[in-house]
Amino acid sequence: MNRELYACVHAAELPAQALLRLRPELRAQPVVILDGPAAQQTVCALNQHARRRGAALGMARLDAESLAEMKLLRRSIQAEKVSRSILLECVSQFSPRIEDALWNTLWDEERQAGQATACAFVLDIQGTERLFGPPEQLAQRLRSCLSAAGFHVSIAVSANFHTARLIAAHRGGIHVIAEGQEAAMLAGLALTALDGDAASDTDLAEILAQWGIRNLGELAALPEAELMTRLGARARTWSALAQGRATYLFRPIQPALRLEEFYAFETPVAQIDSLLFTIARMIDCLAQRAESRALALATVTALMQLEDGSSHQRVIRPALPSLDRRFLLKLVQMEIGAHPPQAAVTSLLLQAEPGQSRQMQLGLFTPQMPEPSRLDVTLARLKSIVGEDRVGSPVLEDTHRADSFHMLSLIAGHAGADQRLQGGSGQAPQAPKLQFHRLCLRRMRPPRPVSVLLHAGRPAVFHDRKQSFKITAAYGPWNSSGCWWSAAAWESGLEPHGSAAWNSAEWDLLATSPDGAPCACLLSHDIQGNIWHLEAFYD
Amino acid sequence: MPSAATLQMEIERSLAARFPAALSPAPQTHREAAATGVAAVDTLLQGGLPVGAVSELIGAMSSGRTSLALAFVASRTAEGRICAWVDAGDTFDPESAAGSGVNLSQLLWVRCQGMQSSPCHTDLPQAGRRRVQRQPWARLDQALRAVDLLLHAGGFAAIVLDLGDTVWEQASRIPAATWWRFRQAAGSTHCSLVVLGRAAYAASSAAIVLECAARQAKTSGGTILSSLEYNVTLKRDRSARIAPCPFPARRATASTWTAQPGWTQQMRRA
């Protein structure tokens, strides 16, 4: 029969850890985190280096500033929330049954504001020996995993839930407590270790202090029956906690996968390079987290809070979900380069949507295709050269109006082939078998206004850009009109170009240019405005 | 006294580190060709336009270069391949392309524009203001940069660089090094780079130069333009092919083909 086994992961000084996680260069420096209104800021968290320099919790900002080489950062609740979810995600790799160890110990206000200065999770690791080895090995792997994510944690493994939780919260490092040794391990903890516990009682603590009971070992040594006689049933719970035999009903939570990273800059960042330096780390973390779940990043959204109070959001969508950090960073760089924020950035939230990374079986006889990830970067570069809406695949619109189309992003590779197959009848679309070769047009955009000389109601000569073209043959007119039923078109004056409606006559002309070269062109005559336009050349 | 063959072997062995096979003639390779879809032109080119090389279709306006290029792109997309059309003059007509049989979902259209905007990459607060440069070279510069990017991205079966409306004075000043680089990139990525222009710009980097010209127009009943007939002349063919015999038969250097407007087919159906 398997015995119960719990591992508790405790991350102390969460406000400091949340900010230092993405700032590895500050981890070797003394850092304190300030919280509160601007005039009354006090230290709410600090690292070991700061503690050695004399900093302490509750210290005023002026006192902290007076300490040499002290780095002061402002607390970020958003960063703590993100760090908590990342920590939860990391530990969920080791067990599906996880409970938030501090949830019951927090006050309601703290829960609502998310202002807990520590973060602890208890994992039910019963039956995981075959996967992760003995508890010592599991604890080591757990700490390595969290260290890679930027967390410094203490871990305790015990068969008793509360023992694991208390030891992890008050003893640093890794502790694996053998069965029956719980009371011995807890004996050294001060009685205040039970503060904030569900069973806490200030009156009871005061009475025990008057009796000279200062640690859990002394409390556990008191005879239970006499203790209950004098202090009531609540004292029994304390005694059981101190002896390491308090029972607990495990209430696992179900962590949702939220791929988010948050970074609050100390000073507004006005350089794209500096921004990208931070984004690179964040993408790295996101990709690592997605990879641990055998997923890839389908979209990445960068939400920037700007110095002027506004926000700026950019979204990148690779053709295929990817884990290639350099590729994703390049896409973000191109996107922000093409659409830069209008002010300096104060904070940055990077959110990613996970997607399944695809594996394709390639064939020897499949035609060569652009590599999707490389094509994404190429398209982004092309857009930065010619414009956002000037690169893509043209799609014809369902209208008789000339030159009506819109652009869609090119989806190449096997993903595009898949989409084309799904959109159709299951077979790759084949070009229609033509009986003859099509005469093609070269469009003028916008159509060039020309002056036309008529002879017997038919064009005889037209002038374009100071050049005179003698018309040798004119075929037409071919009248066309459309969208005259649209109210918006009438309001806009029925202009043939630039409004929804059109009413024009087209002429196919064979002409001779001034240098004697023959040409075939398409002229349109706006009937309402009596304006002629050179629409296209046949070529 | 050593024979000539022995001497050749000794010389080649001694120079092997610097010049591999110094005295041996370079082996001829058969270059792959892709059909243009126009039978007369394919016959003239003995198969089609070369793959992994630069081809030029030159001629004046209404000479049939665009129709020929679109027919080529249509035949490539019909094989399920991806093509690109770099449009320096923004004159590409998607409707004509679709009518020619081009699968538009497999075509990347790059529309160059006259204005060149470049964001400042250093300072974010000023980054919103873009420098807008109006210069005559912007379109050509964009087109060349786009072709460079597409060639190096790889995977495109054909790239058409449309310089049909670019004035000769500008296009002829494209450095020869640029064409050389395009030729190398096209060769390494197995891509057919087709250049449409008023004259031949790529010089010795072009494997094929086809000169197009309008021949005559035909009408139907004197009221409808029914077809245009074009002449195609092979001005240059440097695509390496294995000659079938030491003295190949004299090739034809010109051909004729016909293109018809879309309504002709509709009339036939009716």
Per residue in A158-177, pLDDT (tens digit) is 999 999 999 999 998 999 99
Residues of chain B numbered 54-73 and touching chain A (CB < 8 Å): 60-67, 70-71
Alpha-carbon distance of B79 to B82, in angstroms, equals 9
Domain of residue B46 covers: 27-119+126-242+250-264
CB under 8 Å to A12, separation ≥6 — which residues? A117, A118, A154, A169
CA atoms within 13 A on the CB side of B172: 7
Residue B97 touches partner A, C-beta closer than 8 Å: yes
- Asked if the structure places residue B198 within a domain, the reply is yes
Phi, psi dihedral angles at B104 (to 5 degrees): -65, -25
* pLDDT of res. B121: 44
Asked whether A396 and A342 are in contact (CB, 8 A), the reply is no
List the single residue in B102, B125, B149 with the smallest CB-CB distance to A381: B149
Q: Pick the closest to residue B160 from B44, B252, B250, B68 (CA basis).
A: B68
- Asked if the structure places residue B133 within a domain, the reply is yes
List the single residue in B70, B121, B124 with the smallest CB-CB distance to A345: B124
Asked whether A357 and A319 are in contact (CB, 8 A), the reply is no
For residue B169, give the CATH number of its domain.
Answer: 3.40.50.300
Residues of chain B numbered 195-254 and touching chain A (CB < 8 Å): 214, 217, 219, 223-225, 227-228
CA distances from A526 to A320, A500, A530 (A): 47, 14, 5
* pLDDT of res. A229: 85
- Asked if the structure places residue B6 within a domain, the reply is no
CA distances from A125 to A7, A156, B35, B119 (A): 7, 12, 66, 54
Shortest Cα distance, chain A CAs vs residue B54, angstroms: 19
Per CB-CB distance under 8 Å, the chain A contacts of B112 are 386, 390
Tell me, what amino acid is at A531?
A: I
Burial B198-222 (b: 16+ CB within 10 A, else e): bebbbeebbbbbbbbbbbebeeeee
Per CB-CB distance under 8 Å, the chain B contacts of A402 are 95
The topology under which CATH files domain A259-355 is Dna Ligase; domain 1 (3.30.1490)
Residue B111 touches partner A, C-beta closer than 8 Å: yes
* pLDDT of res. A416: 53
- How many domains are contained in chain B? 1
Residue B167 touches partner A, C-beta closer than 8 Å: no
Which CATH number does A6-179 carry?
A: 3.40.1170.60
Alpha-carbon distance of B192 to B84, in angstroms, equals 10
Mutation to test the A interface, candidates B36, B57, B81, B82, most A Cβ within 10 Å: B82
* pLDDT of res. A190: 86
- Asked if the structure places residue B107 within a domain, the reply is yes
Shortest Cα distance, chain B CAs vs residue A126, angstroms: 52
What does DSSP assign to residue A399? S
Q: What is the dihedral of CA A52, A57, A61, A67, to 10 degrees?
A: -10
* Beta-carbon separation of B124 and A269 below 8 A: yes
CA B224 to chain centre: 32
Alpha-carbon distance of A96 to A116, in angstroms, equals 24
CA A517 to chain centre: 60
* Beta-carbon separation of A431 and B63 below 8 A: no
Q: Pick the closest to residue A95 from A182, A8, A170, A3 (CA basis).
A: A8
- Asked if the structure places residue B80 within a domain, the reply is yes
Give strand ranges (E) for A22-93.
Answer: 31-35, 42-46, 71-74
* pLDDT of res. A495: 47
Residues of chain B numbered 6-45 and touching chain A (CB < 8 Å): 37-38
CA B222 to chain centre: 36
Per CB-CB distance under 8 Å, the chain B contacts of A521 are 62
Asked whether B64 and B233 are in contact (CB, 8 A), the reply is no
CB under 8 Å to B102, separation ≥6 — which residues? A431, B70, B73, B74, B77, B83
* Beta-carbon separation of B82 and A437 below 8 A: no
Cα Rg, chain B, nearest whole Å: 22
User: What ipTM was reported for this prediction?
Assistant: 0.83
Q: Which chain B residue shows the shortest CA-CA distance from A517?
A: B60
Alpha-carbon distance of B105 to B91, in angstroms, equals 19
- What angle (nearest 5°) sits at the alpha carbon of residue B74, between those of residues A394 and A442? 60
Q: Which chain B residue shows the shortest CA-CA distance from A474?
A: B223
Extents of the domains making up chain A: 6-179, 181-247, 259-355, 385-421, 441-538
List the single residue in B60, B150, B164 with the smallest CB-CB distance to A378: B150
Q: Pick the closest to residue A396 from B100, B209, B139, B18 (CA basis).
A: B100
Per CB-CB distance under 8 Å, the chain A contacts of B163 are none
- Asked if the structure places residue B170 within a domain, the reply is yes
**Cis-peptide into A446, omega within 30 deg:** yes
Question: How many C-beta atoms lie closer than 10 Å to residue A62's C-beta?
Answer: 8
Q: Pick the closest to residue A461 from A419, A523, A402 (CA basis).
A: A523
Weakly modelled stretches of chain A, pLDDT under 50: 1, 107, 198-199, 415, 420-431, 493-498
Tokens of A491: 């309001």
Shortest Cα distance, chain B CAs vs residue A318, angstroms: 16
- Annotate A206-257 with DSSP letters as a single string: HHHHHTT--BHHHHHHS-HHHHHHHH-HHHHHHHHHHHT--------B----
Tokens of A518: 């023959």
Per CB-CB distance under 8 Å, the chain B contacts of A444 are 91
Asked whether A490 and A389 are in contact (CB, 8 A), the reply is no
- What angle (nearest 5°) sits at the alpha carbon of residue B220, between those of residues B215 and B221? 125
As its CATH architecture, domain A181-247 has Orthogonal Bundle (1.10)
Residue B136 touches partner A, C-beta closer than 8 Å: no
Tokens of B246: 């030491």
Q: Which chain B residue shows the shortest CA-CA distance from A391?
A: B110
CA distances from A466 to A260, A469, A514, B23, B122 (A): 62, 10, 10, 61, 45
Residue-wise pLDDT for B99-151, tens only, equals: 999 999 999 999 998 764 444 444 544 444 444 444 556 889 999 999 999 99
* Beta-carbon separation of A385 and B145 below 8 A: yes
* pLDDT of res. B158: 95
CA distances from A168 to A173, A177, A251, A468 (A): 8, 11, 19, 91
- Asked if the structure places residue B12 within a domain, the reply is no
Tokens of A520: 């075939």
Q: Pick the closest to residue B142 from B87, B184, B202 (CA basis).
A: B87
* pLDDT of res. B23: 76
Alpha-carbon distance of A183 to B112, in angstroms, equals 78
Mean pLDDT, consecutive 10-residue stretches, chain B (270 aa), reads 80 82 67 89 90 93 93 92 94 93 93 63 46 62 94 93 91 93 92 94 92 89 86 85 56 86 69
Q: Pick the closest to residue A405 from B71, B88, B98, B196 (CA basis).
A: B98
CB under 8 Å to A371, separation ≥6 — which residues? A413, B153, B154, B155
Alpha-carbon distance of A164 to A101, in angstroms, equals 10
CB under 8 Å to A359, separation ≥6 — which residues? none
Residue-wise pLDDT for A312-362, tens only, equals: 999 998 888 889 999 999 999 988 988 889 999 999 999 999 988 766 666
Alpha-carbon distance of A395 to A405, in angstroms, equals 5
List the single residue in A272, A378, A539 with the smallest CB-CB distance to B153: A378
